[in-house]
Amino acid sequence: HQCFKLYIDSEISWSAARNKCLSNGLELAKPYDAVALRHYIMERYGLNDEIWVGGYGDGSKIVWQRDVKQLRSGNPLWMSGHPSSYSTTYCLSLETTASYWKSYPKQPYSTQPCSHGEFPLCELIDEATNCPEEFFMAGSSNQCFKLLTDSEISWSSARSKCQSEGLALAKPYDGVALRSYIMERYGLADEIWIDGQGDGSKIIWKRDGKQLSSSSPLWRSGNPGSYVSTSYCLALDTLDSSLKSYPGQPYRMQSCSIPEYPLCELIM
């Protein structure tokens, strides 16, 4: 649920783009679904150039200006050969040139010299949602999630941790959008515990006892397979390599004892 405004009156440097956004009460964009955003912009505006978004080099990595979180070099959203530099003179572009869109349909990001003239993509930062503070929504599910990143813990500890806060381990209605959002917002490169567990013959959601079908298209290749005992639990796979290899398959089974971050949900 992001609101963007694209200024196409003039192509300007990254710093000028940021100032342009700020002067209008906005921020340079930090997209949670850059592939869909690029597609929309190219369809609507018919551009054939790059667009400035809110990332820049800090000398050793690419970070988002708004929260200084890293956009990792292994992220599958990078166009081939990028990031080309981590220098503070290089900034983050959304690649909306037609040739690159055709060659790299799922890789919308590149780094460009910050002095390069590009259109600014601004974002309205509106924290007003139906969720309490520290919670977020992802996709169109209207679920309120809270990711606890203070420590990685076992599945049973994760479940207890959520319950101790009056929450439940998450049962996502849109696992694909949720994974994309979490990887973009939090910059994680690990798995996350959610509410499923094996019962000896199948995978069930512990909250309501309903089955997560073994034929669901959301399973990563090879899963759940034989991992259906009670010692195996359900993870949202937020590894860079998995997002690249299995973009529409966010679920996998892991030993319940493996430490991972808990994803909790507010049951409304």
Integer angstrom CA distances of residue 141 from 124, 130, 171, 176 = 21, 12, 11, 11
Residues 43 and 105 in one domain: yes
Q: What is the mean pLDDT of residues 145-159?
A: 96
Of residues 98 and 114, more confidence is placed in: 114
Q: What is the mean pLDDT of residues 238-253?
A: 88
Report the pLDDT value the prediction gives residue 110, as an integer from 0 to 100. Answer: 96
Q: Which amino acid is at 92?
A: L
Residues 162 and 54 in one domain: no
pLDDT band at 114 (very low <50, low <70, confident <90, very high): very high
Residues 107 and 166 in one domain: no
Q: What is the mean pLDDT of residues 166-173?
A: 95
Whether the CB-CB separation of 205 and 196 falls below 8 Å is answered with yes
d(CA 166, CA 161): 9
Residues 108 and 149 in one domain: no
Residues 120 and 167 in one domain: no
Q: How many domains does the chain have?
A: 2
Q: What is the mean pLDDT of residues 213-232?
A: 94
Report the pLDDT value the prediction gives residue 127, as an integer from 0 to 100. Answer: 54
* Coil vs helix vs strand at 36: helix
Q: Which of 124, 155, 186 is the last residue of a domain?
A: 124
Rounded to the nearest integer, the mean pLDDT of the chain is 91
Q: What is the mean pLDDT of residues 41-53?
A: 88
pLDDT at 67 exceeding the cut of 90? no
Q: Which of 74, 93, 124 is the last residue of a domain?
A: 124
Report the pLDDT value the prediction gives residue 156, as an integer from 0 to 100. Answer: 98
- pTM here? 0.61
Residues 99 and 151 in one domain: no
Range of the domain at 53: 3-124
Residues 27 and 118 in one domain: yes
CATH classification at residue 198: 3.10.100.10
Report the pLDDT value the prediction gives residue 1, as an integer from 0 to 100. Answer: 67
Of residues 141 and 12, more confidence is placed in: 12
pLDDT at 2 exceeding the cut of 60? yes
Residues 170 and 249 in one domain: yes
Name the nearest CA neighbour of 54 among 18, 84, 4: 18
Residues 257 and 154 in one domain: yes
d(CA 80, CA 249): 23
In a domain, 134, yes or no: no
pLDDT at 262 exceeding the cut of 80? yes
- The total number of residues shown for the chain amounts to 268
Q: What is the mean pLDDT of residues 51-59?
A: 95
Report the pLDDT value the prediction gives residue 222, as an integer from 0 to 100. Answer: 93
Q: Which of 92, 124, 156 is the last residue of a domain?
A: 124
Residues 105 and 153 in one domain: no
pLDDT at 128 exceeding the cut of 60? no
Of residues 200 and 244, more confidence is placed in: 200
In a domain, 49, yes or no: yes
